[in-house]
Every structure is written in C-alpha cells, then in structure tokens.
Amino acid sequence: MPKKSVKIKEQKANLRVVETPKTTAYNDIDLHKWRLYSHIKTGSLWEFASRDKSNGHSYDYHGNYIPQIATQLFERFTKKNDVILDLFFGSGTSGIEALNMQRRCIGVELKQEMVDYVSNKFTKKQLVTDVNIICGDSTTREAKEKVEARLEIMGKKQAQFVVLHPPYDDIIKFSDKKEDLSNCATTEEFYDLFEKVAKNAYNLLEKGRFAALIIGDEYKNSKVVPLGFECMKRMENVGFTTKAIVVKNITGNEKAKGKAANLWRYRALAGGFNIFEHEYIMTFVK
C-alpha cells in the first residue's frame, strides 16, 4: 500500500479518537457510539425480573414505581445536572436515582409526614443543593409557585424532565386528605384533578423537553377502566404531544401469591376478565 494512503488512514483514525460527541439537546448519549448503549430500552415492551433495592432504593412504601424505570428515563431524556420534577414524589425514587446519576430533583408530596420521612434518606447538604422536597398539592397554583422558587435557587427557569406517577384512581388509598387523588368521589373527578397536575407540569417544563406518566388501569363495576389512556388524553389536552407508550410488566412490584393468586385466577375464569400484569410508561414532549 502506498505511504500516502497509509498516512491518510492514520489521520482519519486520529480524527475519530478526538471526534466531538454527537448528542441531542436532551441527553448525554453519544450517537457516534450508539452501539455502546444496548442497556437503554428503545422498544415498547419493558420487562424487569425484580425491583432494584441497591444504591439507596428500598421497597418501603406501597405503590412506588421501580427504580429501573427512573434509570432508563433519566439516561434517555436528561443530561447531568438537569433538574427532574416529580409531582407525586412519594417515597423519593426519583430523587434517589437523580443523585445516583448526577442529576438534581424537586419533588412535591402531599403528606407532611411523608416529606419528613423521605427527607431522612438524604443528607442535609443534598437537601440544600440537589434535592428539594416540597409539601404541597400538585394541582394548585401555590405548589407551582413553590416549585418555581426552588428552580430559581437551583439556577433554572424550568425543569428539564417531569415524572408523573399518580395514584391509580382509588385502588390504593394513600391518605385521608380530600386533596389526595386516591380519595376522589368519582373517576371523572380523578381525571379532572390529574389534568390540573398535568397543566402545572406543562408550565414548569422547559420547551422541547420530556415528561413521563407511569400508570396502570383498573377494574370497577365489572368493567375495565382505562386510566392510562384517559390520562394520556388529559396530558394532550394541556399541550403535551405523546411520543411513546411502553407496556411494562409488574413482576417484582406488586404480585399476588399463594391463595390470593388462586382466588384472582378463579374470579377471572368465572367473570370473563384478565388479571392485570402490566402498567404503562407514557412519554410526552412539550
């Protein structure tokens, strides 16, 4: 091979080594090296064998979503130092994983006792610089203004990602507070209150960035109530564009065992319905 050709090949190889990463405006994934990201799920079916209980996570609160969902969403839709807003903060899964991945988080939680409990999962320094937990009702203007104040302290005008993991209507009662979405008198009221949260989420999110809704459906009055798709419509009502619908198994999250499983199987055979083994992870863009 001529010396000139060898030299050109060497120059091209050197250029590849110092090549500037090719990333999107919303994550740190280097598209030049896209083959290295096989751990990121891009399909519409997500299956996890069990709940991750490492790196600060635990199953200490009924109804919290599994950490692997946060890991997938945060790597796919956020950059390091971005602020993630969780308007149903619960036991703090979003905040814990945000710190694990060098992101920051603002969480809004309705119950003060839950705020106090979850605050103990973080250091005093982290609660000042990286995780802000607000006790408030995410449907309200007051909660929105509190989030805006925290964003300003964190050097941001708006959040870069939003997580919404609301109660699945009244399947689990999370408190006795009338503002709690799990205490709505009707499913229609649940939808209306969820839409108010979605509106706050839209207004608090940076343009061009993403939001995720984690939700399942329910059975009520002998029929399926498609909570996921109705909430998706409510997200669209406030301005979001739906980007993806993922079906995720609920293995390792909440699973009936023994006699309870047999009872539900009998009821399914007798009643003509199927037992839920999935929930949805819906992504939206502003």
In a domain, 198, yes or no: yes
| Number of structural domains the chain divides into | 1
Report for 5-14, 209-218, 265-274: range of highest mean pLDDT = 209-218
In a domain, 4, yes or no: no
Range of the domain at 156: 64-248+279-285
Where is average pLDDT lowest: 4-8, 20-24, 112-116?
4-8
For residue 175, the model assigns a pLDDT of 81
pLDDT band at 255 (very low <50, low <70, confident <90, very high): very low
Mean pLDDT, the chain, integer: 89
Whole-angstrom distance, CA of residue 185 vs CA of residue 107: 26
In a domain, 269, yes or no: no
- Name 222's Cβ contacts closer than 8 Å, sequence gap at least 6: 271
Find the CATH number of the domain harbouring 187: 3.40.50.150
Whole-angstrom distance, CA of residue 174 vs CA of residue 218: 16
In a domain, 46, yes or no: no
For residue 256, the model assigns a pLDDT of 45
Work out the angle at residue 65's Cα, subtended by the Cα atoms of residues 82 and 135, and round it to the nearest 5 degrees.
65
In a domain, 113, yes or no: yes
Asked whether the whole model's pTM tops 0.75, one would answer yes
In a domain, 31, yes or no: no
Alpha helices in 42-123 (DSSP H): 67-77, 93-100, 112-119
pLDDT tens string 51-104: 767 665 666 666 678 999 999 999 999 999 999 999 999 889 999 999 999 999
Instruction: Tell me the CA end-to-end span of the chain in Å, nearest whole number.
Output: 54
